[in-house]
Amino acid sequence: MLGGASHGVLASVALKRPMRSEYTYAVPAGMADDLVVGMRVAVHFGGRREVGIVVDLPSSTDVPASRLKNVSSVLDNEPVLDEDLLQVTRWMGNYYGCSWGEALAAVLPAVLKREGGRRQITSLSPAEGIGALDLATLEDRYEAQHRVLRTLLDAGGPLDRNDLVRKLNISLSPIQTLIKKGWVIAEQADAVTDALSGAPAEHRTEPKELMAQQVAAIEAISKPLRVREFETFLLRGVTGSGKTEVYLSVIKECLELGRGAIVLVPEIALTPQTVSWFRSRFGQVAVLHSRMTDAQRHDAWKSVRQREVRVVVGARSALFAPMPDLGVVVVDEEHEPSFKQGSTPRYHGRDLAVVRARQAGAVCILGSATPSLESWENAGNGRYTLLEMPERVQGGKLPEVEVIDLNSVKMSGPFSAPLAFAIKEAVQRGEQVILFQNRRGFAPVLWCNSCRSVVKCEQCDASMVFHRKLKRIVCHGCCAEQRPPKQCPTCSAPGLRFLGEGSEQVESAVRLLCPDARVARMDSDSMHRQEDYERVLGKFGAREIDILVGTQMIAKGLDFPGVTLVGIVSADSALHLPDFRAAERTFQLLCQVSGRAGRGDLSGRILVQTHFPNHPAILCAAGHDFPAFANHELPLREELHYPPYGRVILVLLDDEDQALVDRIATHLADVLNHHLSDELVEILGPAPAPITLLRSRHRRFILLKTGPRGEGLDRARDLLLDFANKHNRPRITVDVDPVSML
């Protein structure tokens, strides 16, 4: 061999770099005996010292000995990744179009991606004595500092600096300025081990008797589990049908067999209540989610790898917990788009869960009351095994759904007369109400009556949203904000009008409607910290809150028997988005929100306000009829070759230079058409993205559609990645199986 003869052992190392190849290094004699695949090593690359994963120990290499560099150091005494996770990440890199190193970087806790110890978090809080008067001095001249200080004052407790930077879309500069002024205090601290340790001690006892539909589902899933055979089950059960009890029973048997379990839930549904259910049944449970610090994630990772914990519950990234002898992977609410990663590697947690289970010889359970049409089709063609649970537990009935046609009723603010009456009636009876409005802020549009224009963000193709508490208009695309203009920026006419209703306005209106009711709002504007979330849910569970107003944050994972009324203020907010999944998303969200009512002894009632009462998504949701919706939607997808009858790759090109974006997008489309002319690939575009300008960057889309079995997908993906690697500008993003077309 060329390099191996003089250097002894070789190591193939995957680095977090976009090039889709691994790099060969020589292993010095003193390190060679203990080095195995799956360990981390420090190596020099391009003049920098980097951490990589050993993915192979090849016997030879084509790299000349003179060009081989040595491994600098071995960072582990044992592999941090087992063979199963190495193979899963390799599949992930190949399918989603990233390097193996980038896939591995998504798997490892941040602490393991660098040399050295645990990173502390930097928490920020206002200095003593700093308040509203100081805040007012910043408002006109120092917008970013004003937003930072306002958020910290509103939070009522310390915030993680990195979380604050992400939330406000700012640099560190305004934070550092406030620290230098002495207005903000920064402290270094180790985080507590478990960010959801404050979960209320809600004990979920085993039911004395399971329903027949639950017993049948448990037995069907347990059969392959007992003989270590891979199988994927689609568990379609209406809201309140006892799917969680099926998960718990299967996991119990899995643990008795000496195997481990991973449960994925949408980030938005990862509530203290959800965690407490699993802990009450199994005791020690590791929790993994995006709000964890590096130290927390590393602690959980170690406890799983060392078999101290055999059940993991978490959001998307929990799939990569290094669980030895994995037996069960559960994906609850499998239809949720939040299981798709928004940055490289852009993997889908649901689909990767199936791959992970297959690699481990485990069973995979995909659970939902409203499955994705992709999973429904997979069950229909025999790829998945369909299990159905059409009845609520303990004889409970699905809530009645009443559709209110907003074209024919009088409105009082955001409420029609029937909804307003129902809210007052429920509160007077001492029952609880959930009001759902999937828009933040007070009013989503600032409109000129003279020229009929809408006030838009200067950096984005998006309307500015009025937030009454802030007394400012805010762009939800880039977080820019300003005072509402007194005259139209387009025609200078006075008297701009606020149109539409956001969750803030719904809260204000319901306080006027029911002045004695205890009201809380739950959205990303009002929930700054995990403690805020836990506090509101705890008070709602203790019936110290009568009416809970919120966005999709309240649609999932809540089980409160006191709720008898759910009001959907506007069912239309996502119905006509330029996305082929718009109807499916609307149907799913309406069904999920509706499922929050009538989960106890009292019957539930749902009132849905809409301008489109005859739309199939609205009608089918009102009837709790998923098969009817699927039967209507699937032929439309098949006709247009959209999933599940074809694969989609979405290519986004964006840059501050519009002419450059247009020129390169046209060139890329020409390249694709030339090289894929003999493939079953349809190429659409380039065309302006639905949001054509975001954060001052012009955006263009190219959409590729392949056959149902992905014919041509590999060739198309490789062409796209090769083209992207040759162009530094514009930025080119390749998204395989996108969940959003915006």
Identify whether 492 is part of a domain.
no
The yes-or-no verdict on residue 666 having pLDDT over 90 is yes
User: Is residue 574 domain-shared with residue 680, that is, in the same domain?
Assistant: no
Residue 475 resides in a domain: no
* Amino acid (one-letter) located at 47: G
What integer pLDDT is reported at residue 116 of this predicted model?
54
**DSSP string covering 65-101, please?**
GGGPPBP-EE--SS-SS-HHHHHHHHHHHHHHT--HH
Average pLDDT over residues 68-90: 93
Task: Give the C-alpha distances (Å, rounded to integers) separating 662 from 201, 236, 668, 673, 681.
Answer: 57, 45, 10, 17, 22
List the CATH number of the domain containing 182: 1.10.10
pLDDT interval class at 201 (50, 70, 90): very low
Indicate the helix (H) or strand (E) that contains 667: helix 658-675
**What are the residues whose beta carbons fall under 8 Å from the beta carbon of 199, sequence distance 6 or more?**
272, 273, 275, 276, 279, 534
Query: Using CA atoms, how far apart are residues 93 and 75, in angstroms rounded to an integer?
Result: 24
User: What pLDDT is stored for residue 507 in this prediction?
Assistant: 96
**pLDDT at 64 exceeding the cut of 90:** no
Q: Are residues 712 and 585 in the same domain?
A: no
pLDDT given for residue 257 in this prediction: 97
User: Among residues of the chain, what percentage have pLDDT more than 90?
Assistant: 62
State the pLDDT confidence band at 407, using cuts at 50, 70 and 90: very high
CATH number reported for the structural domain that contains residue 266 in this entry = 3.40.50.300
In whole angstroms, give the CA distance from residue 159 to residue 138: 20
User: Residue 201 burial (CB < 10 Å; 0-12/13-18/19+)?
Assistant: exposed
Mean pLDDT, the chain, as a whole number? 89
| Lowest mean per-residue pLDDT among 20-24, 179-183, 196-200, 432-436 | 196-200
Per-residue pLDDT band for 193 (boundaries 50, 70, 90) equals very low
Number of structural domains in the chain: 5
Reading the block at residue 409, the tokens are 């009723």
Mean pLDDT of 710-717: 86
Q: Is residue 450 part of a domain?
A: no
Detail the DSSP E strand segments found in 612-696: 648-655, 682-694
Q: Are 18 and 146 contained in the same domain?
A: no
Per residue in 8-41, pLDDT (tens digit) is 789 999 999 888 789 999 999 888 888 999 999 9
Looking at the structure, tell me whether residues 138 and 73 fall in a common domain.
Answer: no
Among 238-247, 388-397, 469-478, 652-661, the minimum mean pLDDT is found in: 388-397
pLDDT, position 132 = 83
Q: Who has greater pLDDT, 298 or 221?
A: 221
Same domain for 183 and 287?
no
The reply to whether 224 and 313 lie within a common domain is: yes
Report whether pLDDT(494) > 50: yes
**375 within 8 A of 626, measured Cβ to Cβ:** no
Read off φ and ψ for residue 702, nearest 5 degrees: -130, 130
Identify whether 478 is part of a domain: no
Is the per-residue pLDDT at 203 higher than 80? no
Instruction: Say yes or no to pLDDT of 562 above 80.
Output: yes
Number of CB atoms found within 10 A of residue 576's CB: 12
Confidence band, pLDDT 50/70/90 cuts, at residue 431: very high
Query: What angle is formed at CA 704 by the lines to CA 702 and CA 707, rounded to 5 degrees?
Result: 170
Q: Are 409 and 417 in contact (CB under 8 A)?
A: yes
Residue 729 within any structural domain of the chain = yes
Q: Tell whether 28 is covered by a domain.
A: yes
Whether the Cβ atoms of residue 608 and residue 590 lie closer than 8 Å to each other = yes
What's the confidence (pLDDT) of residue 296?
Answer: 77
Tell me: do 369 and 277 sit in the same domain.
yes
Going by pLDDT thresholds of 50, 70 and 90, the confidence category of residue 5 is very low
Contact 571, 609 (CB under 8 A): yes
47 lies in the same domain as 165: no
284-301: pLDDT as tens digits: 899 887 767 677 788 888
**The model's pTM:** 0.88
Q: Is the pLDDT of residue 505 over 90?
A: yes
> Quick one: 410 and 547 in the same domain?
yes
Q: Is residue 597 part of a domain?
A: yes
CATH of the domain at 706: 3.30.70.600
Whether the ω angle into residue 686 lies within 30 degrees of 0, i.e. cis, is: yes
Q: Is the same domain home to 423 and 554?
A: yes
Confidence class of residue 195 from pLDDT cuts 50, 70 and 90? very low
Give me the CATH number covering residue 23.
Answer: 3.40.1440.60
**pLDDT higher than threshold 80 for residue 326:** yes
State residue 1's pLDDT score. Answer: 31
Tell me, yes or no, whether 586 and 621 share the same domain: yes
**CA 164/CA 500 separation, integer angstroms:** 28
Q: What local confidence, expressed as pLDDT, does residue 699 receive?
A: 97
Q: Is the pLDDT confidence value at 107 over 60?
A: yes
Q: Of 594, 614, 636, which residue sits at a domain end?
A: 636
Q: φ, ψ for residue 136 (rounded to 5)?
A: -65, -30
Q: 283-297, 468-482, 561-575: which has the minimum mean pLDDT?
A: 283-297
Residue 378: give the domain boundaries.
212-393
**197 belongs to a structural domain:** no
Which of 61, 80, 113 is at the close of a domain?
113
Q: Is the pLDDT of residue 117 over 60?
A: no
Residue after which a domain boundary falls, among 80, 113, 146: 113
Same domain? 389 vs 404: no
Phi-psi domain of 474 (left: phi exceeds 0; alpha: psi -120 through 50; beta: other): beta
Quick: pLDDT tens for 521-560. Answer: 998 888 777 777 778 888 988 899 999 999 887 776 567 8
Report, as an integer, the average pLDDT of 563-585.
Answer: 92
Asked if the model's pLDDT at residue 192 lies above 50, the reply is: no
Torsions phi, psi of 534, nearest 5? -65, -40
Top mean pLDDT of 397-406, 480-489, 625-634 is at 625-634
